[in-house]
Amino acid sequence: MTIANVIVDVPSQNTNRPFDYEIPEKYEGIVQPGVRVIVPFGPRKIMGYVISLAETSSFSSVKKITDVLDVIPTLTEELLDLGMWLSKKTLSFYISCLQVMLPQVMKAKYRKELWKLSEEPLASDLDSVFDGRAVIDFEDFEQSGVSYHVLRKHMDEGEVDVHYEVKSRETKKVTTMIEPQLQPVELEEKLVDISSQAKKQRVILEYLIEHPEPISKKQLLEKLATTSASLKPLIERGVLREYKQEVFRDPYGDREFERTQPFPLTSEQETAITPILSTIEENQHEVFLLHGVTGSGKTEIYLQSIQQVIDKGEEAIMLVPEIALTPQMVERFKGRFGSKVAVLHSALSAGEKYDEWRKIQRKEVQVVVGARSAIFAPFTNIGLIIIDEEHETSYKQEDRTRYHARDVAVERARTHKCPVVLGSATPSLESYARAVKGNYHLLTMGKRMNEAVMPEVELIDMRDELHEGNRSMFSRTLKEKIEARIARGEQVVLFLNRRGYSTFVMCRDCGHVSECPHCDIALTYHKRQNRLKCHYCSHEEPMPTECPECESKTIRYFGTGTQKVEEALQELIPEARTIRMDVDTTRRKGAHERLLNQFGEGKADILLGTQMIAKGLDFGNVTLVGVLAADALLNLPDFRASEKTFQLLTQVSGRAGRHEKPGEVVVQTYTPEHYSIELASQYDYEQFFNEEMKLRKAFRYPPYFFLTLFTVSHPNQLKVQEVTQKITMFMEQKLSDQAYVLGPTPSALTRINNRYRYQCMVKYKKEPEQRKFVERILHYYEDEMKQENGLQITVDFQPYQLM
Ligand code: ADP
Ligand code: ZN
Ligand code: ZN
């Protein structure tokens, strides 16, 4: 094999195919499929991925590979194939699909080093290159003349590793350790000497007498709730020693995890897990939909299924939505499987992510717990893929390669002949419909653990409040209930919807919302023209001055931010201590966790927040959950608005009364009669599913129809309109009569960064040729799309964000 077929790092239509390069002799055997290389391309040298090898090239003159970046292939053959599949499925460039599978550090320029992992001298010339050092620049190796094969052998033996250094060397993490300088008995003597005033010093000594081994300073101080001021005198007197130690970048490494044991399963759990375990055992591919109410013990099923996979010597991928990937969640997995678990989380630094990824690649772990992109974990022997909270839209990537992790999971599981488990208390309509049809295997768990009941939900009609003269955003009931909790020393979670989309129009008197007569979604208020527009079709109308329903003049556009609520709360209940959690207060790294910890420690009575507090919170002292404006989500210009409302209300309700104290939920709404609000308050998923399916059918939405969404943007509005119009006409002409092509329509977010945005939406059942037409469109506009600040056309074959 002397030729490498390389996909180069130039995302464009013309380069979306392999190029041939000759493999220089010194790289023979090293250049394999999945290895990244540097190749000459035009006047430049660029990075590329080797996807296959060949004896010969059909081109007469091929250039040589300049350099290899990997000694061990970065992408497995399976992932190379998966990238091709992804590229076809999402109509993205192959290169983008390969890049999306890898941690950031491998895509950018970073300093590359060789680390010697073993203490022993290396049995080759490479040893003299290290020359006693533990770390050398990769360049040193390249200039030494030692062959790649030798390096490869040491890497296979685990003696040497390639390392990417992010930024400067200072980023290497060191931690301060504390260690007693004296034996425990001597420490006891010291304890006698310390004045009883110095309480904290005594606590520290007492702890170290019990646990004389070194401990990180941070951990010690946290554990004993003290500060370095109390450590200082002990160090000065030589009782303790302080020293620096380099740590492996394991974000959870300095945590101790208590080992947990599997619970004996309840009969409901037993029934649910049995078919999962048998498909694992028999290497069968099957997709399970585990529909279990919150607290029914789904996680325990995940854990025990993963255990079986580990026992079999195989690997498991566990996906969790980004915001649910809390330390509490991680603890449950690390607690059960210890160091066999890698965690991939977007809050990790680039270096940390890479380290976790390497553990997977090196087979040091058998389980990965992570957000969306963990679906690409480079395991080679997958025995199970689990997606918790499968309905979460964060599993859909919204830029570049618009993949859905659920589809990737099913594709990988098919290759690996293993099951996929999708879990949720409120499955997506798509998944549940598949389960009803028998494409997925439905497993149902309707009971909460320990006979716990779901908290009672009370719906408050905000129209009544207004009629009674209460113009505040808090109903009287909610106010009273909050005050009662504060008086009892219990805690409250107040939930407000995502801020920013204050664009729907509602009558405060009767709750009437202006909707599109053709699409069953709320019309969007466009401030500049003072008009209402449908953001799916082209319908528009003037902003009404009075309610078409009841003629009241209190019709207006809607929305409040968390900050405003906080102020109102302060005024209404001055004694309440509130923690606000939204994008503003959690921007800084670690802020999220810190605020939650404060709340958990009882430093506030009320936790007020957006989406991000809906998930995973588990505080025993929370006995009241309030939802301030249930309608805000309901009236987003999105056909999934009802589904999202149902999911969110169910999830938020699940936050109350998780432990001994019973919980209560208050939902404020202007439309208590809306089926998604009413049925969520009764926890009736099936009924909701039936109601919602009727509407999806009537208005031709998924899961009855597929959607394709074109979004076109350009600084010039006329240009955008014109292009979108052309696309719409082209698609109309090409597709069958069974397809519905809607547009051109201004997107709900009509202008972003001074670029106008228009869209065209296709609803269809079966259009096998569609992709070909879309490709033609993209090809046609390619030059215009290359220009700086030029035309942008994105195509989403499974749109979740319809703004
Ligand atoms: P879900 O994931 O469905 O919301 P969890 O798995 O978190 O539910 O279970 C809720 C609680 O019940 C957890 O505290 C969990 O430890 C506990 N639990 C789960 N299964 C069992 C079991 N078989 N026996 C006793 N407790 C269990
Ligand atoms: Zn419409
Ligand atoms: Zn009205």
The pLDDT tens digits for 38-87 are: 899 888 888 899 999 999 988 888 999 998 888 889 999 999 999 999 99
Ligand 1 pocket member 294 (CB < 6 A): yes
The reported pLDDT for the residue numbered 378 is 96
| Of 189, 175, 320, nearest in space to 255 by CA | 175
Confidence class for position 540, pLDDT limits 50, 70, 90: confident
Please work out whether the CB of residue 296 comes within 6 Å of at least one atom of ligand 1.
Answer: yes
Q: How far is the CA of 462 from the centre of ligand 3 (A)?
A: 13
Contacts of 602 (CB under 8 A, 6+ apart): 491, 621
Q: 113 and 130 in contact (C-beta within 8 Å)?
A: no
| Ligand that lies nearest to the alpha carbon of residue 514, given by its number in the listed order | 3
Protein residue with least CA distance to atom 23, ligand 1: 265
Q: Which atom of ligand 1 is nearest to the CA of 266?
A: 23
Give the distance (Å) from ligand 1 centre to CA of residue 311. 22
Q: Choose the weakest-confidence range: 47-61, 184-198, 426-440.
A: 184-198
Q: Which fold has domain 3-102?
A: GIY-YIG endonuclease (3.40.1440)
The pLDDT value recorded for residue 557 is: 73
Residue 445 alpha carbon, nearest atom of ligand 1: 3
In this prediction, residue 259 carries a pLDDT of 79
What is the rounded average pLDDT for all residues in the chain? 87
Q: Which of 303-307, 512-516, 776-780 has the lowest mean pLDDT?
A: 512-516
Cβ 282 vs Cβ 384: under 8 Å: no
Q: Whose CA is nearest to atom 10 of ligand 1?
A: 295
Report CA(701)–ligand 3 centroid distance (Å): 28
Q: In what order do the strands lie in the sheet with 524-526?
A: 524-526, 531-533, 540-542
Q: Which fold has domain 456-502+559-696?
A: Rossmann fold (3.40.50)
Q: How far is the CA of 367 from the centre of ligand 1 (A)?
A: 20
Q: Measure the CA–CA gap between 226 and 55, rounded to whole angstroms.
A: 68
Cβ atoms < 10 Å from Cβ of 396: 18
| Mean pLDDT across 360-385 | 95
243 ligand 1 Cβ < 6 A? no
Q: Give the percent of the chain with pLDDT over 70.
A: 93
Q: Pick the range with the lowest mean pLDDT from 289-298, 552-561, 708-717.
A: 552-561
Pairing of strands 524-526, 441-445: unpaired
Work out the average pLDDT over 761-765: 96
What band does 247 get if pLDDT is binned at 50, 70 and 90?
A: low
On the question of pLDDT at 432 being above 90, the answer is yes
How far apart are the C-alpha atoms of 784 and 720, rounded to whole Å? 12
Q: What pLDDT, on a 0 to 100 scale, did the predictor assign at position 123?
A: 85
Looking from the CA of residue 294, the nearest atom of ligand 1 is 4
Tell me if 312 sits within 8 A of 280, measured CB to CB.
yes
Least confident of 116-120, 136-140, 170-174: 170-174
Ligand nearest to the CA of 388: 1
- Checking if the pLDDT of 615 tops 70, the result is no
8 Å CB contact between 750 and 803 = no
Residue 266 Cβ < 6 Å to ligand 1: yes
| Ligand nearest the Cα atom of residue 509 | 3
Q: Any idea which ligand is nearest the CA of 555?
A: 3
pLDDT mean over 295-319: 96
Mean pLDDT of the 639-657 span: 88
Chain region(s) in the chain for CATH 3.30.70.600: 706-796
Ligand 1, from 300, 386, 447: best to mutate by most atoms within 8 Å of Cβ? 300
Q: What is the pTM of this model?
A: 0.80
Annotated binding site for Zn(2+): 507, 510, 516, 519, 534, 537, 547, 550
- Residue 54 in tokens: 């060949």
| Closest ligand to Cα 538 | 2
Given the CA of residue 265, which atom of ligand 1 is nearest to it?
A: 23
Please check the confidence at residue 523 and state whether its pLDDT lies above 50. Answer: yes
**Average pLDDT of the segment spanning 425-446:** 97
Look-up: residue for tokens 């009437």? 512
CATH of domain 267-449: 3.40.50.300
Nearest ligand 1 atom to the CA of 332 is 16
Q: How many angstroms separate the alpha carbon of residue 758 from the centre of ligand 2?
A: 14
Distance 161 CA to ligand 2 centre (A): 58
Evaluate whether 631 touches 670 at the Cβ level (below 8 Å).
yes
Q: Which ligand is nearest to the CA of 521?
A: 2
Which of these ranges, 271-285, 434-448, 523-537, has the smallest mean pLDDT? 523-537
pLDDT band, residue 170 (cuts 50/70/90): very low
pLDDT of res. 583: 67
User: b/e string for 476-499 if b means 16 or more Cβ within 10 A?
Assistant: eebbebbbebbeeebbbbbbbbbb
For a mutational test of ligand 1's pocket, the pick from 303, 444, 449, 655, i.e. the residue with the most ligand atoms closer than 8 A to its C-beta, is 449
- Which of 22-31, 161-170, 434-443, 653-662 is most confident? 434-443
Model pLDDT, residue 275: 98
Across 147-161, average pLDDT: 85
Q: Rounded to the nearest whole angstrom, what is the distance from the C-alpha of residue 549 to the centroid of ligand 3?
A: 5
Residues around ion ligand 2, judged by CB within 5 A, are 516, 518-519, 534, 536-537, 539
Q: What is the pLDDT of residue 795?
A: 95
Is the model's pLDDT at 303 over the cut of 60? Answer: yes
pLDDT at residue 736 in the model: 96
Q: Ligand 2: distance of its center to the CA of 549 in Å?
A: 19
Work out the angle at residue 492's Cα, subtended by the Cα atoms of residues 490 and 496, and round it to the nearest 5 degrees: 175
| Chain centroid offset of residue 195 CA | 52
What average pLDDT does range 543-568 have in this prediction? 80
Q: For ligand 1, say whether the CB of 263 is within 6 Å of any of its atoms.
A: yes
**Binding residue positions:** 507, 510, 516, 519, 534, 537, 547, 550
Question: What is the distance in A from the centroid of ligand 1 to the CA of 266?
Answer: 10
Residue 523 Cα to ligand 2 midpoint, Å, equals: 8
Q: What mean pLDDT comes out for the span 437-459?
A: 90
Q: Compute the distance between CA of residue 395 and CA of residue 469 in angstroms, rounded to an integer.
A: 44
Task: Assess whether pLDDT exceeds 70 at residue 330.
Answer: yes
Domain(s) of CATH 3.40.50.300: residues in the chain: 267-449, 456-502+559-696
For residue 231, pLDDT beyond 90: no
The whole-number pLDDT of residue 208 equals 86
Residue 467 C-alpha to ligand 3 middle, in angstroms?
Answer: 12
> Which ligand 1 atom sits closest to the C-alpha of 264?
23
Per-residue confidence (pLDDT) for residue 450, from 0 to 100:
72
**Is any ligand 1 atom within 6 A of the Cβ of residue 426?**
no
Residue 188, C-beta contacts closer than 8 angstroms, at least 6 positions apart: 209
Low-confidence winner among 505-509, 525-529, 690-694 (lowest mean pLDDT)? 525-529
92-106, 361-375, 502-516: which has the minimum mean pLDDT?
A: 502-516
**Ligand 1 proximity of 444 Cβ (cutoff 6 Å):** no
Q: Is 295 in the pocket of ligand 1 (CB under 6 A)?
A: yes
The model's confidence at residue 168, banded by pLDDT at 50, 70 and 90, is: very low
The atom number, within ligand 1, closest to the CA of 299 reads 6
Higher model confidence: residue 452 or residue 713?
713
**pLDDT tier, 793 (very low <50, low <70, confident <90, very high otherwise):** very high
* pLDDT exceeds 50 at position 172: no
pLDDT surpassing 60 at residue 365:
yes
Supply the pLDDT for residue 633: 78
> What per-residue confidence (pLDDT) applies to 169?
36
Can you give the pLDDT at residue 353? Answer: 86
Instruction: Answer yes or no: is pLDDT of 518 > 60.
Output: yes
Tens digit of each residue's pLDDT (9 = 90 or more) over 727-739:
999 999 999 999 9
Q: Which CATH class is domain 706-796?
A: alpha beta
How far is ligand 1, taken at its centre, from the CA of residue 260, in Å?
Answer: 12
d(CA 166, CA 361): 19
Taking the centre of ligand 1 as the mean of its atom positions, its distance from the CA of residue 662, in whole angstroms, is 17
Residue 442: per-residue pLDDT: 98
Nearest CA to ligand 1 atom 9: 297
For ligand 1, atom 15, the nearest C-alpha belongs to 297
List helix spans (H) across 573-630.
591-600
Say if ligand 1 is within 6 A of residue 297 CB: yes
Residue ranges of the chain that CATH labels 3.40.1440.60: 3-102
**305 Cβ closer than 6 Å to some ligand 1 atom:** no
| pLDDT digit string, tens, across residues 58-70 | 888 899 999 888 8
Give the mutation target among 299, 332, 333, 659 for probing the ligand 1 site: most ligand atoms within 8 A of CB.
299
Q: Report pLDDT for 501.
A: 44
Statement: residue 693 has pLDDT above 60: yes
Q: Is 328 in the pocket of ligand 1 (CB under 6 A)?
A: no
pLDDT of amino acid 500: 39
